[in-house]
Amino acid sequence: MLTAILLLLLSAAAIYLACSWFVNAVEWLGARLRVGTVAVGSVLAAIGTALPESVVTFVAVVFGSGSDRDEIGIGAAMGGPLVLSTIAYAVVGIMLILVHHSVRKRPAGAHALISDQRWFFVLFIAKLVLGLVVFSWKPWLALAFLAAYAVYVVRELRDAAADGGHSADELEPLKLTPRRVRPPGWAIAAQTIGTLAVIFAASQLFVGQIETLGPHLGLAPAVTALLLSPIATELPEVLNAVIWVRQGKEALALANVAGSMMIQVTIPSAIGIAFTPWHFSPTVTLAGVITLAAVATTLILGRLKMLTSGTLLIGFGFYAIFFVGMLLLN
């Protein structure tokens, strides 16, 4: 158990360091591709940081064995949006408070965030409803979720083009070539791919230690997949948010979280719908209801122009409600 805790800490440190290099590389990638600022977070960074949780779901349902295979896959697919809509946004709120010393700070990029969350809200309702009903052709609906993400990416990139592109003038030098004002394409690609490989490997190690510690904590595999594994696999998004808010780029932080949520509501969901019965237990249903409540609150706060560093902390409250409800159900 002591070894698992040590590896847990080492992998978390590796993920943080890799994320600091990744956000640096992905900003340069966005500048090179002339992608708008928000799209850098919502598309480029989100695709990279959402890789671990998508792989966890895929491996669990396609290559897993045993009676818990489906539950673990479904739990991982539902747990990711729960963590992002509650803990990740709350962490952004904490960082904004620490940086600006105010609970009334309105984050930049809130308008784009609300637009993305509307998409997420509609898709997540469909995802939740599908988990409560049973019919034979349900697996074919996986294609609809994949198509929905393709439409979302096209829309983000179209809006980014209208935005005029992501400027390189204010970017920090690429860490791989710190003396170059304009880094070469090979260096940007190498740093992006290399950091993603480290994030992926360290995330898998982190998840492995979480799964090792689960039985010691008396948690069933399905509960571990829903409660602990998503926190581990969403760590890159959370750490990206910490790094970007510290740099005064909260729009990128929020876009990364929102973009990752869009991936979570489509790609892992499509995998789960295609390869499992996609029928929810009471605990998974609770996770879905809490996620919807958290996102609905974010939408309402945004509509009322009350989305601030202080109100983002509400996410912790929603996750606490889920935690207590899960304990009661199990």
Average pLDDT over residues 17-37: 80
Rounded-to-integer distance, Cα 246 and Cα 215, Å: 37
Cβ-proximal residues to 120 (8 Å cutoff; 6+ apart), any chain: 81, 258, 261, 262, 265, 295
pLDDT at 315: 95
Which amino acid makes up residue 253?
Answer: A
Q: How far is CA 124 from the centre of its chain?
A: 14
Average pLDDT over residues 291-309: 93
Rounded-to-integer distance, Cα 6 and Cα 46, Å: 28
Q: How much of the chain, in percent, has pLDDT values that exceed 90?
A: 25
The confidence band for 142, taking pLDDT boundaries of 50, 70 and 90, is very high
Write out pLDDT tens, residues 46-100: 877 776 667 767 776 766 655 566 777 787 788 889 999 999 999 999 999 999 9
Identify the residue whose tokens are 């539950």. 71
pLDDT at 321: 94
Quick one: CA torsion of 77, 81, 84, 89, rounded to 10 degrees?
Answer: 180
pTM here is: 0.85
CA angle 70, 75, 76 (to 5 degrees): 105
Q: Is the pLDDT of residue 217 over 80?
A: no
Residue 292 exposure: Cα atoms within 13 Å on the Cβ side: 14
pLDDT at 313: 95
Which amino acid makes up residue 226?
Answer: L
The confidence band for 15, taking pLDDT boundaries of 50, 70 and 90, is confident
pLDDT at 99: 92
Higher-confidence residue of 209 and 238: namely 238
The confidence band for 44, taking pLDDT boundaries of 50, 70 and 90, is confident
Highest mean pLDDT among 53-62, 120-129, 164-173: 120-129
Rounded-to-integer distance, Cα 26 and Cα 17, Å: 14
Q: Is the pLDDT of residue 105 over 60?
A: yes
Measured CA to CA in angstroms, residue 238 lies from 235, 251, 271 at distances of: 5, 14, 24
pLDDT at 69: 66
What is residue 285's three-state secondary structure?
helix
Rounded-to-integer distance, Cα 152 and Cα 276, Å: 25
The confidence band for 190, taking pLDDT boundaries of 50, 70 and 90, is very high
Helix residue spans in 131-264 (DSSP H): 142-163, 185-216, 221-227, 229-233, 235-246, 250-264
